[in-house]
Chains A and B, each alone.
Chain A
């Protein structure tokens, strides 16, 4: 055994010198080029949208399209925000309210279920998990028909209200939060609640001073994922709302395309307005988002 342990570092040292420093430099350069290409492809469309949004109509009409803009037209943004058809600013508000409400509900229901599944023993646990996961296979388009019929029923009159969006968005957000939080709670130390309770703290104090700080990162990540999922919705907004009373901003975006003269600057400005908050969220919460996305897959 001792002989084997000795040969590994020796072999590695040999490999290092055999490769030579120039070959390693070549590998590094190739790596950096590949990385640059990937980053370029990821960000180029966003760059294109931003410069389209600041060009004035003269430059937009010229061909071929310019890669470095030489005009600056902030009017595109004010046009987009004050647009009446679609009522872009109102739709932004609608999206925000719906996404927040959906997230709050998905977090409450999801964390309760996740706690039960992850920390308590009960019969039927596998069944509950199976139900939550299987919702993932339902095509949303199959749900909109009956939901449309249900919501337009005069007994409920939910059509074209915030509830008409929050309720279906939960189909997307609730399995997401439940699944993620279950995985997260499973990883918390098992004797946590025991230890705090033995020390004499009441159940409520245990919750507040011990459990909440430990679960906060997970709940936060679940909140971000849920918010993005609800904000992303297009189909429910398209079919279950009729106008800017409750219409989300995702529905407004294609509506800019209609009409006579297509105002590309305005469309681009609208797209930028919708995506800037998301870009900021990604920049700040990058690590949490990644941990949220990968939680299920790695731990299984």
Chain B
């Protein structure tokens, strides 16, 4: 027995044997195409975008390295700082409204009533429209000619006659928030509904017998059990909101820009020297997303440890 033990401990374990946990090399072949695609289409471009942000004119072969000057230029640009403000205001308000309204709708649909399936279908429709088409649809209601919302707001004396909501910066942001909330609340509602439906009904029954009110039950049963679904939904929504482009492209143009539309305007609607600062702006957005993701992941990791 002792000699056998000595033999096995001196034998070298090959890489192949180390990888082989029973399935052989098959799994690696299966995931390779996906990883390759992601490498080429996401990882390479993001690294190259960083490289582009450090040179002066990416579109000519004789470009030179300019260090952080593109970043300095962009951070010093008031329009860029405004775009960060716009994006943050839009993101915070949109996501807050979508979560709050989504939760209300989820609680609503969670009760059984006839036609529940139809209601779910009806609210799914806004989600299915491409964002740019939703923007166009709402523009048909915001404009001066066919704008029913314009008429209503003028009738309520919130708008002067002849004025439209999308004339002022605040109005444009409001219009963007309304359209995004309309489009995305159904998504949040359905996500939260799924989370609600996993909560066992006897928890509520037991609590009722003990005498707790619906309000108390909501905070002590519903919310804790929803925490995971809520955090994941929030993470995806916040990242999406920070990267908003389509709405600001159509509603805001050059007047009200998000970080993404600012980057686009510089890269594709400006002159050649504007390209690299645009790329820098895009990388700034990327860094913001990384920070936000890390915060959320650590929050979720903390909760997982508690469970």
Residue ranges of A at the interface with B (Cβ–Cβ < 8 Å): 7-8, 11-12, 15, 28, 31-32, 34-35, 38-39, 41-43, 45-46, 48-49, 52, 60-61, 63-65, 67, 108-110, 112-113, 115-117, 120-123, 125, 128, 131-132, 134-150, 167-168, 170-171, 174-175, 178, 228, 231-235, 238-239, 250, 253-254, 257, 262, 264, 267-268, 271, 274-275, 278-279, 281-283, 286-287, 289-290, 293-294, 296-298, 300
A297 touches B195 (CB 8 A): yes
Q: Does B97 sit within 8 A of A, measured CB to CB?
A: no
Question: Does B122 sit at the interface, judged by CB under 8 A?
Answer: yes
A32 with B113, Cβ < 8 A, contacts A122-B23, A141-B263 known:
yes
Do A290 and B48 have beta carbons less than 8 Å apart? no
Query: Which of the residues B49, B191, B293 comes within 8 Å of A294, measured between beta carbons?
Result: B191
Q: Which residues of B contact A43 (CB under 8 A)?
A: 122, 125
Q: In the bound complex, do residue B105 and residue A38 qualify as a contact, i.e. CB atoms below 8 Å apart?
A: yes
By a CB distance below 8 angstroms, the chain B residues around A174 are: 34, 37-38
Interface residues of B in 166-219 (CB under 8 A from A): 182, 186-187, 190-191, 193-195, 198, 205-206, 208-209
- In this assembly, does B82 line the interface, its C-beta being within 8 Å of a C-beta of chain A? no
The interface centre, meaning the residue of B27, B48, B111 with most chain A CB atoms within 10 A of its CB, is: B27
| Docked-complex contact A254 and B136, CB < 8 angstroms | yes
Q: A12-B205, A145-B52 are in contact. Are A282 and B132 (CB under 8 A)?
A: no
Is the C-beta of B250 less than 8 angstroms from some C-beta in chain A? yes
Contacting residues, chain A, for B148 (C-beta < 8 A) = 48, 65, 67
Q: Is the CB of B34 within 8 A of A110?
A: yes
* Segment of B5-13, B73-81, B88-96, B239-247 engaged in the interface with chain A: B239-247
A-B contact pairs, 9 of them (CB 8 A): A42-B125, A52-B140, A116-B28, A122-B27, A148-B267, A234-B132, A264-B143, A279-B128, A293-B190
Q: Do residues B128 and A278 form an inter-chain contact, with CB atoms below 8 A?
A: yes
- On chain B, the residues within 8 Å of A278 by CB distance are 128-129
Given the known interface contacts A116-B26, A137-B239, A141-B282, the answer about A41 and B182 at a Cβ–Cβ threshold of 8 Å is yes
CB distance from B275 to the nearest CB of A (A): 7
**Contact B250–A254 (Cβ < 8 Å):** yes
Decide if the interface of chain B is mainly helix, strand, loop or mixed: helix
In the complex, how many angstroms separate the beta carbon of B78 from the nearest chain A beta carbon? 20
Query: CB-nearest residue of chain A relative to B189?
Result: A38
Pick the contact of A298: B49, B138, B146, B198 (CB < 8 A): B198
In the complex, A262 Cα to B117 Cα: how many Å?
39
Q: Mark B241-284, 1 if CB is under 8 A from A, else 0.
A: 01101100110000000001001100110000001001100110
Knowing that A109-B37, A136-B236 are A-B contacts, what are 5 other residue pairs whose CB atoms are under 8 Å apart, sorted by A's residue number? A15-B208, A250-B132, A286-B121, A297-B191, A300-B228
A38 touches B123 (CB 8 A): yes
Tell yes or no: B233 within 8 A of A by CB: yes
A-B pairs with lowest CB-CB distance, top 8: A294-B194, A146-B48, A116-B30, A142-B282, A122-B27, A116-B27, A146-B45, A113-B34
Asked whether A145 and B19 contact (CB < 8 A) given A60-B145, A139-B243, A231-B130, the answer is no
Q: In the complex the two chains form, is A145's CB within 8 Å of B278's CB?
A: yes
CA distance A42 to B111 in the complex (A): 19
State in angstroms the CA–CA spacing of A32 and B31 once bound together. Answer: 49
Residues of B within 8 A of A135 (CB): 38, 42
Cα-based distance from A297 to B206 in the complex (angstroms): 27
Residues of B close to A49: CB separation below 8 A: 137, 140
Interface contact B293-A137, CB-CB below 8 Å: yes
Chain B residues, Cβ within 8 Å of A167: 41
Question: Is B19 in contact with A122, judged by CB distance below 8 angstroms?
Answer: yes
User: Is A235's CB under 8 angstroms from B30's CB?
Assistant: no
Q: How far is the CB of A187 from chain B (nearest CB, A)?
A: 14
- Contact of B35 with A128 in the complex, beta carbons under 8 Å: yes
* Contacts A113-B31, A137-B293, A294-B194; A143 near B42 (Cβ below 8 A): yes
Contact partners of A298 in chain B: CB under 8 A: 194-195, 198, 229
Give the interface centre of A15, A64, A120, A142 by most chain B CB atoms within 10 Å.
Answer: A142
**Chain A residues, CB < 8 A from B267:** 144-145, 148
Asked if A143 and B145 sit within 8 Å, CB to CB, the answer is no
A142 and B48 CA atoms in complex are apart in Å by 9
Cβ contact within 8 Å between A31 and B190: no
Give CA–CA (A176, B48) in the complex, Å: 24
Q: Which of A39, A122, A141 has the most CB of B within 10 A?
A: A141
Q: A152 to B126, alpha carbons, bound, how many Å?
A: 36
The 0/1 profile, CB within 8 Å of A marked 1, for residues 215-231 of chain B is 00000000000001100
A139 to chain B, nearest CB (A): 4
Distance between Cα atoms of A103 and B258 in the complex (Å): 30
B285 touches A142 (CB 8 A): yes
Residue contact B42 to A146, C-beta cutoff 8 Å: no
CA distance A300 to B209 in the complex (A): 32
Separation of A43 and B122 alpha carbons in the complex (Å):
7
When distances are taken between beta carbons in the complex, the residues of chain B under 8 Å from A48 are: 137, 140-141, 148
A290 proximity list for chain B (CB < 8 A): 120, 124, 190, 194
**Could you tell me if B245 and A300 are in contact, using CB atoms closer than 8 angstroms?**
no
